[in-house]
Amino acid sequence: MDFVPQFTDGQVFPHALGKIVCVGRNYSDHAKELNNPIPTEPLLFIKPSTSAVDLTETLDPPFARGSVHYEVELALLIGETLTQASSDEAERAIVGIGLALDLTLRDKQSQLKEKGHPWEVAKGFDGACPLSAFLPLSRVPNWNALAFSLEINGEERQHGEGSDMLFSVPILVAEMSRHFTLQPGDVILTGTPAGVGELPRGAELRLSLTGGLDVATRVIE
């Protein structure tokens, strides 16, 4: 079933899900843990809308294709068309904030990187982007005060804060709009903090975000 963007109060967003624009290495500790250089400008890539699934449903990643890694991220829902936007314009266009898992076929990604090839096969497969419902921005105190986390089987594996981003939310969205026109229904993934690892079969996951978003899900056996 196609993912339909909606808010935590049950209100359905009036636009279909569009593209999912992502940034790599937006937390320095995560770049270091994968032995990647810290970028001086956002490293952008896109997941197709077909990669999105409901985060609350049982996750069924393609384990037969190799090691699947979890990466928890803040997800932003875009409500206005943005092209060559300023940081202020970009911030005003965000209508919701939620959580996502950027699932990655890590072995495949490493092979592609070694050959200098694009990552899409490792990042854009069906089910590669489990998404939550979105909190309205009225529930968000400010970007730097945001905190989010991922627990696996009751143990915290990742914890991130908006203040730790290399590129803040307004700057990041504005930069994305200079490369890709952003449209209502597009989703932005803002990068993952340190602590990524292999997603275990049968695991129980809990994702939490400042403002009252708390999502539980599980991975298929």
Cα(35)–Cα(219) distance, rounded to whole angstroms?
A: 28
Q: What is the pTM of this model?
A: 0.94
Q: What are phi and psi of 136, to 5 degrees?
A: -65, 155
pLDDT tens over the chain, length 221 residues: 689 999 999 999 999 999 999 998 898 775 566 666 777 889 999 999 999 999 999 999 999 999 999 999 999 999 999 999 999 999 999 999 999 999 999 999 999 888 999 889 999 999 999 999 999 987 777 898 899 999 999 999 999 999 999 999 999 999 999 999 999 999 999 999 999 999 999 999 999 998 889 999 999 99
The candidate with the shortest Cα–Cα distance to 15, out of 77, 67, 90, 60, is 77
pLDDT value of position 2: 84
pLDDT value of position 76: 97
pLDDT value of position 34: 61
Domain 20-218's class?
A: alpha beta
Cα(162)–Cα(179) distance, rounded to whole angstroms?
A: 23
pLDDT value of position 39: 73
Cα(46)–Cα(119) distance, rounded to whole angstroms?
A: 10
CA distances from residue 193 to 35, 139, 179 in whole angstroms, order as listed:
14, 22, 24
Q: What is the largest CA-CA distance in the chain?
A: 46
Beta bridge partners of 147: 161
The candidate with the shortest Cα–Cα distance to 51, out of 132, 125, 106, is 125
